[in-house]
Amino acid sequence: MTSPERWLVVSARPLSPEAAALLPEQMLALGGTAVQEDGEALVIYLPAPDDPPVLLEQLRAALPDAELDWRLQENQDWAVEWKRGLGPRKLTERLVVKPTWTKWDRAPGEVVIDLDPEMAFGTGEHWTTRGCLRLLDAAIQAGDRVLDVGSGSGILAIAAAGLGAREVVAVEYDPDANLNARDNLERNGVAERVRIVEGRADAELLAQLGSFDLVLANILSGVIRPLLPAFHKALRDSREPRLIISGILQSEHSEVRDAETVGFRVARPDVEEEWWSALLTFA
């Protein structure tokens, strides 16, 4: 497929924390391939239409809870502009996430993840991913069997394998995300230790996958809460069961008290901007 001569660059600033949670997926549904974070706004590149005003009215209808701005950009500048500001991120003492076109001098003990921003929530550019990675680095133990629910680009699975997991099972129902994830697993040399299961995570599927030491769930709180009993069952045979949850707005985190009804407790929270993540252990 040839690139368009011009791009429509759309910037969307969410009008509420609830809108911020949904905005990346809504923007990707418009036909772009990546959502880039720019301060409080999210930016997407779309092929420029013949009639921009008509498309902009459609965008306003599709993104009613966001303040929109736009501009047209010549294709010859797009690659440079898109990559501007996207560099390596050192998230913990051990974890570095970097786009493939950048360089990083790896220090002893560092795990460097090469990942291109082809999907939202999958590059370390989003708060929920960063929170998950910080908690993962602190919680994982060598030899863990890890379950990654809603694995997306595979970034958490790659990090778990790089930090010493003996096996990672990554569950994701989106086939396009899984194509991207398989490329990322190969690029980072962990394909032999990470198995992708294409399907929607529910209690029945999780029961089929066996026992785990650590479960990762970087998904919306409305999806996490019904799965808490299944997560508990998946962890009950571990000597040190751990659950990391993310994708939760601070305004919603009190609802995670539901976890206490199935035997979890919050051992370590991680807060960034309006997002709340946490490491849970058995009560």
CATH of the domain at 157: 3.40.50.150
Residue 101 per-residue DSSP state: T
Q: Is residue 48 part of a domain?
A: yes
Of 260 and 105, the structure prediction assigns the larger pLDDT to 105
pLDDT at 48: 79
Q: Is the dihedral angle over the CA atoms 131, 183, 24, 202 positive or is it negative? A: negative
Q: Is 49 helix (H, G, I), strand (E, B) or coil?
A: coil
From 62, 83, 104, the end of a domain falls on: 83
Both 151 and 105 in one domain: the answer is yes
In this predicted model, which residue has the larger pLDDT, 105 or 50?
Answer: 105
Residues 222 and 114 in one domain: yes
Distances (CA, A) of 125 to 192, 256, 273: 26, 24, 13
Burial class (CB in 10 A: 0-12, 13-18, 19+), 79: exposed
C-alpha distance from residue 59 to each of 47, 54, 70, 167 (Å): 13, 9, 11, 42
Q: What is the pLDDT of residue 167?
A: 98
* Domain membership flag for residue 1: no
User: Tens digits of per-residue pLDDT, 51-76?
Assistant: 777 877 888 888 888 999 888 877 65
Of 208 and 27, the one with more pLDDT: 208
> pLDDT at position 46, please?
82
Residues facing residue 146 across a β-bridge: 168, 214
* HSE-CB for 4 with a 13 A CA cutoff: 15
Name the nearest CA neighbour of 212 among 157, 168, 159: 168
Is 235 or 88 the better-scoring residue by pLDDT? Answer: 235
For residue 148, pLDDT over 60 is answered with: yes
In this predicted structure, what is the pLDDT of residue 204?
95
- Where residue 11 sits, what CATH number does that domain have? 3.30.70.270
Residue 132 — very low, low, confident or very high, per pLDDT cuts 50/70/90? very high
Determine the average pLDDT of the residues in 1-14: 75
Q: Considering the domain boundaries, does residue 230 fall inside one?
A: yes
pLDDT-wise least confident of 47-51, 216-220, 279-283: 47-51
pLDDT band at 124 (very low <50, low <70, confident <90, very high): low
Number of compact structural domains in the chain: 2
The candidate with the shortest Cα–Cα distance to 216, out of 272, 275, 159, 282, is 159
- In 3D space, the residue among 138, 121, 130 whose CA is nearest the CA of residue 97 turns out to be 130
69 close to 40: Cβ distance less than 8 angstroms:
no
Q: Which pair of structure tokens corresponds to residue 16? A: 């509420």
On the question of pLDDT at 33 being above 80, the answer is no
What sections of 126-217 are H helices per DSSP?
A: 127-139, 155-162, 175-187, 203-208
Please state, in angstroms and as integers, the Cα–Cα distance from residue 270 to each residue in 96, 102, 190, 225, 274, following that order.
18, 28, 27, 18, 11
Percent of the chain scored above 70 by pLDDT?
Answer: 87
Q: Which has more pLDDT, 120 or 87?
A: 87
Claim to verify: residue 32 and residue 170 sit in the same structural domain: no
Supply the pLDDT for residue 120: 39
pLDDT over 90 (residue 169): yes
Q: Which residues are within 8 A (CB) of 103 and not within 5 positions of it... i.e. 6 or more apart?
A: none
**Rounded CA gap, 14 and 70, in Å?**
15
What's the confidence (pLDDT) of residue 279? 96
- The answer to whether residues 35 and 115 belong to one domain is no
Q: Are residues 38 and 151 in the same domain?
A: no
Q: What element of type H or E holds 80?
A: helix 78-83
Q: Indicate if the pLDDT at residue 1 is higher than 50.
A: no
Looking at the structure, tell me whether residues 13 and 131 fall in a common domain: no
**Candidate from 112-116, 211-215, 238-242 with smallest mean pLDDT:** 112-116
- The residue range of the domain holding 69 is 6-83
